[in-house]
């Protein structure tokens, strides 16, 4: 099933509603993030991806999520400070979301991507093409430097 996110309404870090359609023409990597997870070092790699590909229209969008083992208990300000100081990450972070169970956007929409179902853990990744269609879903263990992810990003940027 083709999943398109352009009509999906999300909440910014300052509580404003925003459509993912405002990112039309960009390639997005949407990630549910957490500061106290074994995958937390991926913040650095995600920032490296944004630094490497941003000139080509690529953005990482981080959605803090406390659904998995309570691994994101902090406030958004605390999360931003942690990410910046510890990993040099300055990609866009949004208000906390729920990625499983009673989900909130963007995950109510993203979880319809194959394989359909709730996000399995922190740092699951969804690659979205310039047209707003979800291209691929990557499990949490897929590192930002993984060849499969890099190849998918480069194909998306070339189209």
pLDDT-derived band at 59 (thresholds 50, 70, 90) equals very high
Active-site residue 37, yes or no? yes
Domain map of the chain by residue range?
9-158
pLDDT of residue 9: 97
Task: Give me the catalytic one of 37, 49, 83, 99.
Answer: 37
> What mean pLDDT value characterizes the chain?
95
pLDDT of residue 25: 97
CATH architecture for the domain at 9-158 = 3-Layer(aba) Sandwich (3.40)
pLDDT of residue 150: 98
pLDDT of residue 4: 95
**Cβ pair 53, 82 in contact under 8 A:** no
Q: What is the pLDDT of residues 86-99, one digit of tens each?
A: 999 999 999 999 99
Q: Which residues contact 125 (CB under 8 A, 6 or more apart)?
A: 29, 30, 31, 137, 138, 140, 142, 149
| Nearest CA among 132, 157, 153, 142 for reference residue 49 | 153
């Amino acid at each position: 099933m083709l999943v398109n996110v352009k009509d999906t309404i999300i909440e910014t870090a300052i509580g404003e509603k925003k459509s993912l359609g405002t990112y039309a023409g960009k390639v997005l990597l949407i990630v549910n993030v957490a500061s106290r997870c074994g995958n937390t070092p991926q913040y650095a790699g995600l920032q490296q991806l944004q630094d490497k590909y941003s000139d080509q229209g690529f953005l990482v969008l981080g959605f803090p999520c406390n659904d998995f083992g309570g691994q994101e208990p902090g406030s958004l300000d605390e999360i931003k400070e942690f990410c910046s100081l510890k990993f040099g990450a300055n990609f866009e972070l949004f208000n906390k979301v729920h990625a499983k169970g009673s989900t909130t956007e963007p995950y109510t929409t993203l979880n319809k991507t194959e394989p359909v179902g709730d996000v399995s853990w922190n740092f699951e990744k969804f690659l979205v093409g310039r047209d707003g269609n979800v291209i691929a879903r990557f499990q949490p263990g897929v590192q930002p430097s993984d060849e499969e992810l890099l190849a998918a990003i480069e194909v998306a940027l070339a189209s």
